[in-house]
Amino acid sequence: MRVLVGDIGGTKTGLGIAEVEDESVTLELHRRYPSRKSVSLGEIVTAFLDETGCGCSAAAFAVAGPVVAGRSKTTNLPWQIDAAALQKSLGFERVGLLNDLEAVAWGVPALSANELAVIQHGAPDAVGNACVVAAGTGLGEAGLFWDGAHYRPFATEGGHTDFAPTDDREFALLNYLQKRVGRVSWERVVSGMGIGTVYEFLAQWHKATHPPAVAEALRSDGDIAAAVAEAAHNGHSISQEALELFAVLYGREAGNTALKHMAMGGVYLGGGIAPKNLALLQGAGFIEGFLDKGRMRGLMERIPVRVILDSRTPLYGAARYMVAQIG
């Protein structure tokens, strides 16, 4: 079955044509568009169809935000997306709308071993529920219920739950953020903006001077996370501490999500940050944050943790979702 699929993020919107056969998904004509340069998803889809000349009877779109009754107000874009309206305006027989992390969860079974990087092997006989935790523009989370034969993906908005500090430095980080934004969610610290926030907190805490690249990014509202990563690579100690703390916090929230889902079948790290920072996440900080669950540490050691390397996974998942809906 052929499905037009889309992954609508706060920064980029990816579109393609997917061919689905059993668990296998083949993606054709994959293109990416800057999300904020368009006023709506319909505008981007129309441009894609005009450019490629391809037509499908069904489409499925993974959206960065909660989806209720076929509608979504995207979290990091000023868009209102309505599946029924898109179906009518674009001429599809059927349009599906699902949360982007639910789409990643649907896509996980379509991935091969070489599209995953191991953070923790876990138990060799690992089976059961699984979950996805994805730091990117924001922090997305989803679950995969194991029914004994198949995974049943479902959406959550777990990234917006309350951030919980565990030591003096993290309590100071919480206090710093509360003064800036009020309520503090995990997304505030485990995301692209979280890297910048953690850095800015540490620079103030240590009364440190910004390195040139970071100072320029702060001054011009540029990519602070990329500047911090560059400064860390060049040996800047506060930037290195920021990345190390970010890794610990990412590991801690991934562990929280694993416990809440009893994810003995594994934790999958999606989003754009993990594959670009594999060495960081494969270091001691992430896994220590993941395992640091008191009496549950032994349980946590049994859970496989892997990084999703293929950025097209939400598109695979959107296609599998639509095929399942059509039956």
Q: Is the dihedral of CA 267, 273, 276, 279 positive or negative?
A: negative
Are 200 and 80 members of one domain? no
pLDDT tens digits along 293-321:
999 999 999 999 999 999 999 999 999 99
Radius of gyration of the chain (CA): 20
Q: What is the pLDDT of residue 241?
A: 97
Vertex 326 angle, CA 320 and 327, to 5°: 85
In the annotated binding site, the residues are: 6-11
Helix 224-233 vs helix 212-220: angle between axes, to the nearest 10 degrees?
Answer: 180
C-alpha 57/C-alpha 280 separation (Å) is: 43
* Nearest one of 184, 187, 237 to 209, comparing CA atoms: 237
Contact 181, 194 (CB under 8 A): no
Q: Which pLDDT band, with edges at 50, 70 and 90, does 221 fall under?
A: confident
In this structure, the number of other CB atoms found within 10 A of the CB of residue 287 comes to: 21
CATH number for the domain that contains residue 71: 3.30.420.40
Are 136 and 193 members of one domain? yes
Are 153 and 273 members of one domain? yes
CATH number for the domain that contains residue 136: 3.40.367.20
C-alpha 214/C-alpha 223 separation (Å) is: 9
C-alpha 97/C-alpha 72 separation (Å) is: 8
Q: What is the pLDDT of residue 162?
A: 97
pLDDT exceeds 90 at position 53: no
Are 146 and 193 members of one domain? yes
The rounded mean pLDDT for the chain is 94
Q: Which pLDDT band, with edges at 50, 70 and 90, does 214 fall under?
A: very high
pLDDT tens digits along 280-292:
999 999 999 999 9
* Bridge partners, 152 (sequence order): 145
Q: What is the pLDDT of residue 297?
A: 98
pLDDT exceeds 80 at position 5: yes
pLDDT exceeds 80 at position 327: no
| Total domain count, the chain | 2
pLDDT tens digits along 28-47:
889 999 998 898 999 999 99
Are 178 and 194 members of one domain? yes
C-alpha 71/C-alpha 35 separation (Å) is: 18
Bridge-based pairing of strands 305-308 and 116-120 is antiparallel
What is the average per-residue pLDDT within 131-153?
95
Q: What is the pLDDT of residue 22?
A: 77
Q: What is the pLDDT of residue 36?
A: 87
Domain that holds residue 76: 2-107+312-326
Q: What is the pLDDT of residue 123?
A: 96
Residue with the two structure tokens 């991935």: 111
Q: What is the pLDDT of residue 137?
A: 84
C-alpha 152/C-alpha 172 separation (Å) is: 39
Q: H or E element: which one contains 322?
A: helix 313-326
Kindly tell me the burial class for residue 117, based on how many C-beta atoms sit within 10 Å of its own C-beta (0-12, 13-18, 19 or more).
middle
What is the average per-residue pLDDT within 126-153?
95
**E strand segments, 35-150:** 58-63, 71-73, 80-82, 94-99, 116-120, 130-135, 139-146
Q: What is the pLDDT of residue 116?
A: 97
Are 249 and 182 members of one domain? yes
pLDDT exceeds 90 at position 326: no
Are 121 and 62 members of one domain? no
Share of the chain above pLDDT 90, in %: 83
Q: Which pLDDT band, with edges at 50, 70 and 90, does 76 fall under?
A: confident
145 CB-near residues (< 8 Å, 6+ apart): 129, 151, 152, 153, 154
Are 89 and 177 members of one domain? no
Are 157 and 18 members of one domain? no
Report the SS3 class of residue 327.
Answer: coil
In the annotated binding site for ATP, the residues are: 6-11
Q: What is the pLDDT of residue 295?
A: 97
Are 263 and 127 members of one domain? yes
Q: What is the pLDDT of residue 74?
A: 82
pLDDT exceeds 90 at position 249: yes
* Bridge partners, 306 (sequence order): 118, 268
What is the average per-residue pLDDT within 78-100?
93
Are 33 and 71 members of one domain? yes
Single-letter code of the amino acid located at 263 = A
Q: What is the pLDDT of residue 199?
A: 97
Are 99 and 135 members of one domain? no
What is the average per-residue pLDDT within 44-56?
89
CA distances for 98 relative to 141, 280, 319, 322, angstroms: 13, 31, 11, 10
